[in-house]
Structure 1
Amino acid sequence: MREHKGLRIGQYVVAYLFAVVSLYPIFLMLLSSLKTNIEIFKNPMSFPKAWSLAAYRKLLDQLPYFDYFGNSVLVSVVSVALILIFGALASFYIARFHFRWNSALFFFFLLGMMIPIKLGIVPLFMLLKNLGLLDTSMSLILVYTAVGIPLAVLILTGFFRTLPKELEEAAKIDGCSDMRILVSIIAPLMRPALGTVMIMNFITVWNDFFFPLIFIQNEAKKTIPVGMLTLFSEYSTDWSVLFAGLTLSSLPMIILFAVASKQFMEGMTAGAVK
């Protein structure tokens, strides 16, 4: 009994150490946003001598930060919503309807994870230009949706296959259509997997710098990662303002993970348990 208790205490100690190591950079970023540049260079690890929000005020004066923030929210929310919808539909079809090309279709989606989309950035740029979508949020939404669906199909298909078919058979006896079964019966049971897909894709879209840099030139359409690039000058950088922008931009991800962390952890471990 004592051995099990000692092992449990050791596990908690290791878990808390990992938590401290993971959260320390966030804590340091918050402290740096409340300092002056001189304090950041002189005492980067210490608490600020005088707590000040001057860096946040300077950030809002220098940049149209809330415009960047709104663009990032729009692109991230719409992209993740489309990934969940189309990923769930494709996964349900692959997992529950068996036909000759079932495995080939599943492999086709997985190719999207194996082939880096950045290798095709030139033809992709030309395609969006011909469609008249350059310099619009829709260009980013379409690209992120295409990039995120393969991972969603991989995760959701595996979860669909673990659910008992008797639930669907009983629903069909009651007269439910396939779409009604997916929306009303299967989707609520898939919340851990959907939460996992949502968090992973939201973080990817929110933090992406490459595609907005290539496809967006209009200042009013830029997202946070590209918009904050203007804070870097050729000879100097206002680090306190930069840390203030990073702190504000990290808040949605922290809130999202805090709200959906239970579903995320269940989604990451349910496959191993089953």
Structure 2
Amino acid sequence: MAHARRSYARLLATHAVLLFYTLISIGPIVLIAMNSIKSRSAIFSAPLAWPSPSTVDFSGYAALVEDGSFAGYFLNSTVVTVTALIAVIVFGAMAAFALSEYRFKLNALTGLYFAIGIMIPIRLGTVGILEMLVAAHLANTLTGLILVYTAQGLPLAIFILTEYMKTVSSDLKNAGRIDGLSEYRIFFWLVLPLLRPAMTTVAVFTMIPIWNDLWFPLILAPGEATKTVTLGAQIFLGQYETDWNAMLAVLTVGIVPIVALYLVLSRGLIRGIASGAIK
């Protein structure tokens, strides 16, 4: 009986901690969303209060519609994020396949080289990256941003996928070779479909930093035609006055893709982590 009580107490404490962490994580999102439909005075006088008929104000969302350029910012963010995400997953999986499947002299050194990319922030090389993009005539272009984000996401993707790739049965790959399949067909037809849990993990960990990033769009692509959502939101920040309704509306709209991604991929993310995608 005493053991059952202790087990129940530990279970209760665990759920209490998880509930507290959940509230801390979801709280800011809910706060931003509900204040985005409140009047300016209500935002500052009662930021924690739920919207009421007297405080409801959709002027922030109306400003986004009237501005007209926000749709372009959202499209730019979508194009950059999706393209970089596909490149990271495909090239990361190919590199992971080579590192886990083939044994060559510089195998361990190559893996270490990619791992260093996780430890060293890419922002330290901003000046050099900007110089390379200018020399390649890719500054102030979406292509330049896509290349930078691909390079940013590859080290972690290769690390995760390499560890997961080692769990794929060698008999399956050898059977494909006996049947005359090329290494490319073995990779794309046999191995890649088995990496879905790990690729889901990579997708989540890659998309969020890209979508939320302000640093590289501000420095590498600040032009009106290449602005992303995070950079475009700065138009509502004034030196003397800020349109908080529009700013909160932008943040709310910007949160939607991240939340939608998690809801769609959450089960695969948990499966990928539980299967040993991260070690």
- Matched with 1:21 is 24
- Matched with 2:38 is 35
Instruction: Check if 1:149 corresponds to 2:150.
Output: no
Q: What letter corresponds to residue 256 of structure 2 in structure 1?
A: L
TM-score scaled by length of structure 1: 0.94
In structure 2, do the counterparts of structure 1 residues 272 and 225 end up closer, same or farther at CA, with 3 Å as the change threshold? Answer: closer
Instruction: Check if 1:138 corresponds to 2:140.
Output: no
- Please state how far the C-alpha of 1:20 moved relative to its aligned partner: 2.1
Instruction: Check if 1:189 corresponds to 2:194.
Output: yes
- Please state how far the C-alpha of 1:6 moved relative to its aligned partner: 4.8
Three-state SS of the structure 2 residue aligned to 1:142 is helix
Q: What letter corresponds to residue 258 of structure 1 in structure 2?
A: L
Instruction: Check if 1:61 corresponds to 2:66.
Output: yes
Q: What letter corresponds to residue 106 of structure 1 in structure 2?
A: G
- Following the alignment from structure 2 to structure 1, what is the Cα–Cα distance between the partners of residues 278 and 199? 17
User: 1:117-143: per-residue Cα shift (whole Å, max 9, x none)?
Assistant: 222222221211111111110000000
Q: What letter corresponds to residue 160 of structure 2 in structure 1?
A: I
- Matched with 1:234 is 239
Same amino acid, percent of matched pairs: 35
Q: What letter corresponds to residue 77 of structure 2 in structure 1?
A: S
Matches within 5 A, 1:190-205: 190-205=195-210
- Please state how far the C-alpha of 1:153 moved relative to its aligned partner: 0.7
- Please state how far the C-alpha of 1:5 moved relative to its aligned partner: 4.6
Query: Which of 8, 11, 23 lines up with 2:14 in the alignment?
Result: 11
Q: Does the CA-based 8 Å contact 2:198-2:277 persist in structure 1? A: no
- Following the alignment from structure 1 to structure 2, what is the Cα–Cα distance between the partners of residues 152 and 49? 46
RMSD of equivalent CA atoms: 1.8
- Following the alignment from structure 1 to structure 2, what is the Cα–Cα distance between the partners of residues 24 and 256? 19
Structure 1: gaps spanning 5 or more residues: none
- Matched with 2:253 is 248
Three-state SS of the structure 1 residue aligned to 2:85 is helix
- Please state how far the C-alpha of 1:272 moved relative to its aligned partner: 8.3
The runs of at least 4 aligned residues of structure 1 exceeding 4 Å deviation read none
Q: Does the CA-based 8 Å contact 2:164-2:277 persist in structure 1? A: no
User: 1:77-105: per-residue Cα shift (whole Å, max 9, x none)?
Assistant: 00010000100000000001011111111
Q: What letter corresponds to residue 104 of structure 1 in structure 2?
A: L
Instruction: Check if 1:78 corresponds to 2:83.
Output: yes
In structure 2, do the counterparts of structure 1 residues 218 and 95 end up closer, same or farther at CA, with 3 Å as the change threshold? Answer: same
Number of matched pairs: 274
Q: What letter corresponds to residue 114 of structure 2 in structure 1?
A: F
- Please state how far the C-alpha of 1:264 moved relative to its aligned partner: 1.0
- Following the alignment from structure 1 to structure 2, what is the Cα–Cα distance between the partners of residues 13 and 63? 45
Matches within 5 A, 1:47-126: 47-50=50-53, 51-62=56-67, 64-126=69-131
Three-state SS of the structure 1 residue aligned to 2:242 is coil
- Matched with 2:132 is 127
